[in-house]
Structure 1
């Protein structure tokens, strides 16, 4: 199991369209065989700050996700709305290890 966390800072006025684009990407991602979770979070006190929390079965599943049409569409659509480059970090899951815990 691997978790990928992405921090995104969005330019003012684009928060709503960015959120909608993320929700569309989430729909496609949740249908992927290797995806166990995809959360879209917006910081309460800073609406231009988003956090994407994604759980996958393997690094290969992450790689496959980044080749899907819905991800590529999202990536290209939201790029001009970012105040700075997004920051993604990969994490090894310590718990829960059982897929049923997700």
Structure 2
């Protein structure tokens, strides 16, 4: 399993547009083969700060996500909304350890 946490800071004037674009990406991402979770989170203290929690069954499934049309459209659309480049942190999953415990 692979989990990536993506830290995103959006220009304040683009928050609504970013939410709309990322909701569309989320809806398609959760139906991808090998996707376990795709959570879209907004910081309560800073509404321009977002996190994506992306969990996939394998490195291959995570890599395939970046080849989808919806991801490519999202990436291109939100580029101008970014205050700074987004930061992805790949993690090692400790728990839940077994795939069956994810759903």
Unaligned runs of 5+ in 2: none
Q: State whether structure 2 residue 17 is matched by structure 1 residue 52.
A: no
Residues 73-88 of structure 1 correspond to what in structure 2 (within 5 A)?
73-88=73-88
Displaced runs of 4 or more, over 2 A: 98-102
Deviations 1:65-90 (A, max 9, x none): 00000000000000000000000011
Instruction: Give distance in 1, aligned partners of 2:99 and 2:16.
Output: 32
TM-score normalised by length of structure 1: 0.96
The aligned residue for residue 69 of structure 1 is 69
User: Aligned partners of 2:46, 2:16: CA distance in 1, in Å?
Assistant: 13
For the residues of structure 1 that align with 2:71 and 2:25, how far apart are their CA atoms?
Answer: 6
Output one character per residue of 1:39-66: Cα deviation in whole Å (capped at 9) or x when no partner.
0000001000000001000111111000
Equivalenced residue count is: 102
**How do 1:1-102 residues align onto structure 2 when only pairs under 5 Å count?**
1-102=1-102
Question: Normalising to structure 2: TM-score of the pair?
Answer: 0.95
Q: Secondary structure at the match of 1:14?
A: helix
- How far 1:101 sits from its partner (Å)? 2.6
Listed as ranges, the gaps of 5+ residues in structure 1 are none
